[in-house]
């Protein structure tokens, strides 16, 4: 059976969570974290979702992804990863929550997370950790950071005017952002 990320597979009593699946402990279920063929090993009571492509690897630490900031909290940003295709692989986000902690934004001390990113910003980030429910991201490298930031006042895209500084060409608002080296020059969809 062809299975998509997030799809229900069975209960934790029925199956053990194998490759390409995860446990939803609250509900006591096993769900797919992968796109591919569902294999149910009745003897070992193990569920697996294997893909023919290299998709599953792409959720692993080291992968650089693009995402949109959907929520800013005190210590953490919530980011919605976007699907993308490169020469080597297709990246399809799974159902997990992608987060960027304030300490992984950049090497310098940050007082307020909103001085670095705002809701709607497009961010290039590296996956640093994956667990049952969460994908952890970091942007503490030169090639990482926002590649397109939006003015929090008028929602227009902002221009880079210096290292980690941006300006809105519409309303003139100047502010700080952790910008990637190729801000608004790189591959942006
Ligand atoms: Zn503006």
pLDDT digits (tens, 9 = 90+) for 138-163: 999 999 999 999 999 999 999 999 99
Can you give the pLDDT at residue 189? 45
- Kindly report, residue by residue over 16-66, the tens digit of the pLDDT: 999 889 888 888 999 988 878 899 998 889 999 887 655 445 678 888 999
Sign of CA dihedral 112, 115, 119, 122: negative
Give distance in angstroms: CA of 83 to centre of ligand 1: 28
Q: Could you tell me if 77 and 140 lie in one domain?
A: yes
Task: Residue 61: give the domain boundaries.
Answer: 56-149
- Is the confidence at residue 4, as pLDDT, over 70? yes
DSSP state of 113: G
Q: Could you tell me if 67 and 143 lie in one domain?
A: yes
Domain count, the chain: 2
Give distance in angstroms: CA of 150 to centre of ligand 1: 8
Give distance in angstroms: CA of 155 to centre of ligand 1: 6
Look up residue 100 and give its two tokens. 């960027």
Residue that terminates a domain, selected from 33, 52, 71? 52
């Amino acid at each position: 059976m062809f299975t998509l990320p997030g799809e229900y597979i069975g209960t934790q009593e029925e199956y053990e969570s194998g490759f390409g699946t995860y446990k939803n402990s609250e509900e006591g279920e096993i769900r797919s974290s992968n796109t591919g063929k569902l294999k149910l090993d009745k003897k070992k009571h193990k569920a697996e979702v294997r893909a023919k492509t290299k998709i599953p690897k792409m959720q692993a630490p080291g992968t650089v992804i693009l995402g949109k900031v959907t929520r800013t909290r005190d210590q953490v940003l919530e980011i919605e990863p976007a699907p993308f295709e490169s020469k080597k692989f297709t990246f399809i986000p799974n159902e997990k929550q992608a987060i960027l902690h304030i300490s992984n934004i950049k090497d310098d001390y940050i007082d307020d997370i909103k001085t670095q990113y705002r809701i709607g910003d497009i961010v290039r980030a590296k996956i640093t950790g994956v667990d049952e429910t969460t994908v952890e991201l970091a942007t503490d490298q030169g090639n990482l950071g926002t590649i397109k930031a939006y003015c929090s006042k008028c929602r227009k895209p902002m221009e880079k005017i210096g290292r980690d500084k941006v300006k809105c060409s519409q309303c003139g608002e100047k502010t700080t952002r952790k910008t990637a080296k190729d801000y608004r020059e790189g591959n942006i969809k």
